A and B are shown apart, each in its own frame.
Chain A
Amino acid sequence: MNEEDIANGLGQALDDAMLGYPIVWENRYLRDGSGNLVETPNKAQMPYLVVEFVRTSRRNRALVGGVPKKGSQVSEGFMQITVVSERDAFSSAATGIADDVADVFPPATSITITGGKITIMDFPTVIQGFPDDVSWRVPVRVPYRATST
């Protein structure tokens, strides 16, 4: 189990939910329905989702004086999925999409990955939206804990 496995597992769960919005993965640009690069997103592409992974802790409990054992490697963090929508539009639509995103990851959800499993530790948090230069953004944070098997 490594960080790539964790990111792939969580990302696949989001993709499998088929929410119907384009997803901008880490270090990737937005693409339109035909897979063409959209260098400057505008209203026509919105709403879309931006995914980030924030790793907060990675440790191996077996190294604390013990022998290697099941579940000894633990990685924690959160996946942030931001709903990016039009500015100067009612915010309820973006918040509704954020709620749909949160519903993909109910607490105690377990996702099997190579060499381990991911558990969603709590209800995802839908954060108060805010504007940037070109959009209205509503982040959703999904706390996870991955353990090796």
Chain B
Amino acid sequence: MVSTFIASIQNFEKFTTQNLRYIAAESVQDVMEHAMRPQPSVKRTGGTFEIGKIPVDTSDLIRSLRSSVGTGGGAMGETSYIAVIAGMDPHDVLTFEWTAKHAAPMEFGFTTKSGTTVPGRHFVGANAARFSEFVERNAAEVRR
């Protein structure tokens, strides 16, 4: 679904390692910032919601983010991704997990006890799919 980092950059060999690190970090940060944009729960909106934003009712979901590098234990909390991205190198494997029990139903959709099909919010998928777009934009910024 998401193009690789290098495949997203035209003439990537012309960038310095420092620039590649900047582009990678900014692009991951863009994905995470978009994924963590909050929206009120349907209890407050009366049923409407936006695709690509994280729903916030009790804040359990948004606070359940665990961010880590490699096999490290990582950090918890809604801003935990900032420190992890700040220390990343382009070859690192970063992991972001929303550990709340209702994270998957909110992302992918679910069926209520009464049988109503509720669509997903896709706060992760819709923004992860834009990774290449963010990479292109950040690479263009470095080229200027």
User: Which A residues are within 8 Å of any B CB, using their own CB?
Assistant: 24, 26, 29-30, 38-42, 50, 52, 54-57, 76-78, 80, 82, 84, 121-122, 125, 127, 130, 132-135, 137, 139, 141, 143
Contacts and interface: CB of A to CB of B under 8 A. Distances in A.
9 contacts: A38-B115, A42-B115, A54-B120, A56-B127, A57-B129, A57-B130, A77-B129, A78-B125, A132-B110
Contacts of A121: 1
A84 B108 contact: no
Q: Is chain A's interface secondary structure helix, strand, loop, or mixed overall?
A: strand
A57 B122 CA distance: 14
B111 A132 contact: yes
A73 B122 CA distance: 24
Interface of B: 1, 51-52, 104-105, 108-115, 117, 119-120, 122, 125-127, 129-130, 133
A109 B113 CA distance: 37
A84 B109 CA distance: 11
| In the complex, the 8 A-B pairs of residues with the closest C-beta atoms, listed nearest first | A40-B115, A132-B110, A130-B104, A143-B1, A56-B129, A139-B108, A133-B113, A54-B122
A23 B59 CA distance: 33
Nearest to A29: B117
Given A52-B122, A133-B110, 14 more contacts: A40-B114, A41-B115, A52-B109, A54-B126, A54-B129, A82-B108, A127-B108, A133-B112, A133-B113, A134-B113, A135-B111, A139-B108, A139-B120, A141-B1
